[in-house]
Structure formats: structure tokens, C-alpha cells
Amino acid sequence: MCRRRLQEAIECLKRALLGADVNEVTINLKLAKLHDDLEEYVEAEAYHRRVVDISRATRKANDVGSRIETQFSCLNPAVKPIAEYAKSCVYVARHHLQRGGGDLELAQEYLEKVAVSNAEDADTATELVKKVKAEIKLKVEESKTMETSSAQGEERDG
């Protein structure tokens, strides 16, 4: 599909989203896909994050309303198990790990939820959690090295 057509599709879906239910995820997923196709990764990540937020909020609202019913999603179809939004969690995490989003704590949080689930993305999430933890550890070590260098420089100057 040409770039112009993708942009037109995005505008159409954005208009559809204006009149949609606040818990609408399908349109958000389509918008995320279109933005990804256009290599507009920040926008794609934002729509995937919205899917995660909506899914989690729907689950929390249902948990408050009826704890017994929400233990079994088959009794309450509005409850979204992690498997339904795991791909969005992984997309958001990858964005922060590989495309400069930078929020590694958020990436870790999302990936750990998927990794312990029965979602088909659990194995991918498990591998990515290892990479995120390694990246966090590296950043902590770099920070400590910079602090040490700075303190040594102050001692020499002082």
C-alpha cells in the first residue's frame, strides 16, 4: 500500500475512534499496525500502549465490580486476559529496548507479565526480559562509573 493510502486509512480510523467506545481496542490495534507500516514507531507504540492500558483498566474495573466472576474470564467476557494484549506489551517493550523509547522499567514490567502468562508470546517475552535486565544493569554500572570519575575529578580539583 502506498504511503498516501496508509495516511488516509489512519485519518479514517482516527475519525472512527472519536465515536467509538472508550474501551475500543480493535481500532487502536489497526492504527498501531498502520503507523508501524509507515515506520512511525513512536505513534505505533502509543497505540499499543493504549491497548494495554484499556485492557488493564477493563480488567481492574471488573475486578472491583465482582471479584468472583472475574477469576474466570469466560463468566465475564469484558475481562481481558494477558494473552489478548500480550503482543501490544511486547511491542511497547521492544520499542523501549530497541528503538530508543528508553523506559526500561516499563519494558521489564510488561514483559514479566507476559513471560509468566500462557500467551503465545511468553517465550519471546522471557528472552526479552533477559535483555532488558542486562541493559538496566549496564546503565547502572555506567552511572556508577560516571559518578566515580566525577568524584575523582573533584578530588583532583579540590
Residues whose CB is less than 8 angstroms from the CB of residue 116 and which lie 6 or more positions away in sequence, other chains included: 122
> Is residue 108 within 8 Å of 132, Cβ to Cβ?
yes
**Three-point CA angle 107, 110, 114, nearest 5°:** 130
Does the predicted model carry a pTM greater than 0.85? no
pLDDT per residue as tens digits for the range 133-142:
999 999 899 8
| Domain locations in the chain as residue ranges | 1-71, 81-145
For residue 129, which of 149, 152, 104, 147 has the smallest C-alpha distance?
A: 104
pLDDT per residue as tens digits for the range 108-128:
999 999 999 999 999 999 999
d(CA 103, CA 92): 10
- Residue 119 DSSP label: S
